[in-house]
Amino acid sequence: MQSPKKSNSRPRTNAKLWGGGFTEELNALALEFSKSLELDCKLYKEDIRGSLAHVAMLGAQGIIEKSEAEQIAQGLRQIEQELDTGKFPFESAEEDIHLAIERRLHDLIGSVAGKLHTARSRNDQVATDERLYLRQRITELMDHLTAFQRALFEKAERHFGALMPGYTHLQRAQPILLSQHLLAYVEMFERDKSRYADCQRRLNVSPLGAAALAGTPHPIDRRYSAALLGFSGITRNSMDSVSDRDYVIEFISTCAIVMMHLSRLAEEFVLWSSQEFRFITIGDAFTTGSSIMPQKKNPDMAELVRGKTGRVYGDLINMLTTMKALPLAYNRDMQEDKFPMLDAAETTAASLKIFTAMLGATTFNLEVMRAAVLQDYSTATDIADYLAKKGVPFREAHEIVAQIVRHAVEHRVLLNELTLDVLHRFSPAFEQDVFDYLNPEHSPARKRSEGSTSPKAVKAQLRFWKKCWARASVWLLTDRLMLQNNGKQDAKVC
C-alpha cells in the first residue's frame, strides 16, 4: 500500500463532494487537523469492496442504470489496482480514504461517479469498512493464536515427563511437569480464540443502508448488499448502525486480554532466561547484546511484548473514553477510533508472531529445572497428604510437616535426607513408604484428579488438543471457502 503523503499534486478541496453549501474553503489548519487519510487508507480494500456491493445493489434495484453501475464498478476496480501498486494519485487536500476514492472515481469516469453515493452516507460506509476489516483481522489473529498454541503444544509433547518447580507467589510450591505449565497457556489462548469468534459473530452484520442516521427514501435492498459482503444479516436500527462502536471496543478488549496472557509468559521468559533461573536459553537470533557489558544476552523480545501490553490497554481506554457520553448518532469524535483499532490489531498480531518464532528458538534446560525441584522442599504437601491418608486430620498434618520443614532447614538437609527416626519425633504415623512420597520425581504421578499435573492427566490433555485441532481444521476450511465464495460474488457484482 502506498503512503498518501507521497503525492504533492495541486491542492483541491472536497468542495465537489460536500462543499456545495459553503461559501469558504476549509481552513488549511482545520483540514490538517481533521484529516484521517493516513490511517484510514489502510481500509481501502474494505472501502472498495463495500462500494462494489452497494453499487451492485443500486443497479439490481433499478435505482441507477445497470450500465452506470457497471461503469462505476470498473472505475472502482481500477482504483483498487492503483492503490495496490502504489500508483494512486493522492491529492494534498484529501480528507479521508472514502472521499479520495470518490474523487478519483470522478476523475476516471466523470459525473456518473456521483451516483455511487446514492442512498449511502460516509457514516454507514465507515461502519461497514470497519466491520469488514475487523472480520478479516480476527480470522488472522485466530490463526496466529493457533500457531502459537501449536508451538507450545509441540514443546509440551516433546518434553513430556520433564519435571520443574510449580510456583505460587513465585515461591516453589509443588513439583509439576513442564508440559502442564505450557498447556496452561494453550488453555488461555483457546479462551481468547472463543472471545474473538464471539466478537466476529456479533460484528458480522451489515450497517450499510442506514445512510446518515435515519435510513433512505430510495428502494434499496440492504440484504442484497449484506449477502454480497458475506455478512450474516443486517443491523436492525439505523441510528444504532452508525453510532455503534461496540465491535471495536470488544475487539480491542479481546486483544488486551491476549496481550495480558502474552505478558505473563513474557515475564516468565525474562525470569527463566536469567542467571538466577537458567531454565531456558533463548536463541541468539531473538536476544540482543549490551553495548557496554559483553557477557549479556537480553530477552528484549519478551520485554517488548510485555511493554506493548500497556500500549494495547491504552488503545482500549482510548476507545472507551472516546465513546463515553457521545450523544446519538455519528459524531466526528468517532473518527478517532481508527488509531486504537488499527494499533491493537497490528500490535497483537506482531506480538503473537514474534513470540511463536522466539518459542521455536528457545531451549528448555531440563536438567536445571529438574535439579531445582530435587533441591527444594516442594514435596511438603505430598507428606501432608501422606499423613492425611494415614488418618491424621489434614490441618494437623499441615502443622506437623511445617515443623519438619523448619527442622530440615535448620539442619540444612533436604526432606528426603531425613531418617525415619527423625520423622517419628514429629508423628508416629510415618512408615517406611514415606520415602517414596519424599521423592519429588514421584510427586506428579501421585496426583489423581482430572486436569492435574500427573503424567496420565497431562497425556489426556495432549490427546485432547490433538483431536481438537484435527476437527478445527475442517471447520476452518469450510469458513475459508465461504469467504472465498463471497469474494467471487464480489467480482461479478455488475
Given the rule CB under 6 A, which residues bind ligand ARG? 36, 40, 96, 122-123, 126, 330, 332, 334-335
Give the whole-angstrom CA distance, residue 341 versus residue 314: 11
169 catalytic residue (yes or no): yes
The label of the residue with cell 484529501 reads 94
Considering the complex, what minimum distance in angstroms separates the CB of residue 83 from ligand ARG? 17
Closest Cα partner for 80 from 61, 64, 101? 101
Give the whole-angstrom CA distance, residue 131 versus residue 165: 45
CA 199-202-207 angle, 5° bins: 125
Closest Cα partner for 206 from 239, 241, 249? 241
User: Of the two residues 47 and 376, which places its CB atom closer to ligand ARG in the complex?
Assistant: 47
Residue among 111, 169, 291, 449 flagged as catalytic = 169
Rounded to whole angstroms, what are the CA distances from 375 to 45, 278, 417, 439?
59, 15, 11, 11
End-to-end CA distance of the chain: 26
User: Of the two residues 52 and 334, which places its CB atom closer to ligand ARG in the complex?
Assistant: 334
User: Of the two residues 254 and 322, which places its CB atom closer to ligand ARG in the complex?
Assistant: 322
Rounded to whole angstroms, what are the CA distances from 185 to 120, 157, 189, 417, 442?
45, 14, 6, 35, 24
Considering the complex, what minimum distance in angstroms separates the CB of residue 63 from ligand ARG? 22
User: Of the two residues 42 and 398, which places its CB atom closer to ligand ARG in the complex?
Assistant: 42
Considering the complex, what minimum distance in angstroms separates the CB of residue 105 from ligand ARG? 17
User: Of the two residues 123 and 149, which places its CB atom closer to ligand ARG in the complex?
Assistant: 123
Query: Do the beta carbons of residue 90 and residue 7 sit within 8 Å?
Result: yes
The label of the residue with cell 497425556 reads 459
Residue 91 per-residue DSSP state: B
User: Of the two residues 330 and 364, which places its CB atom closer to ligand ARG in the complex?
Assistant: 330
User: Of the two residues 69 and 127, which places its CB atom closer to ligand ARG in the complex?
Assistant: 127
Considering the complex, what minimum distance in angstroms separates the CB of residue 78 from ligand ARG? 23
The secondary element (H helix, E strand) that includes residue 175 is: strand 171-177
Considering the complex, what minimum distance in angstroms separates the CB of residue 96 from ligand ARG? 4
Closest Cα partner for 133 from 241, 44, 242? 44
Considering the complex, what minimum distance in angstroms separates the CB of residue 43 from ligand ARG? 9
Contacts of 407 (CB under 8 A, 6+ apart): 418, 422, 426
Residue among 3, 67, 194, 290 flagged as catalytic = 290
3 state DSSP class of 176: strand
Residue number of the CB atom closest to ligand ARG: 335
Q: What single-letter amino acid sits at 367?
A: E
The full DSSP string for 201-247 is: HHH-EE-TT-TTTT--SS---HHHHHHHTT-SEE-S-HHHHHH--HH
3 state DSSP class of 167: strand
9 catalytic residue (yes or no): no
User: Of the two residues 30 and 477, which places its CB atom closer to ligand ARG in the complex?
Assistant: 30
Considering the complex, what minimum distance in angstroms separates the CB of residue 160 from ligand ARG? 51
Considering the complex, what minimum distance in angstroms separates the CB of residue 201 from ligand ARG? 24
Query: Do the beta carbons of residue 262 and residue 308 sit within 8 Å?
Result: no
Catalytic residues: 169, 290
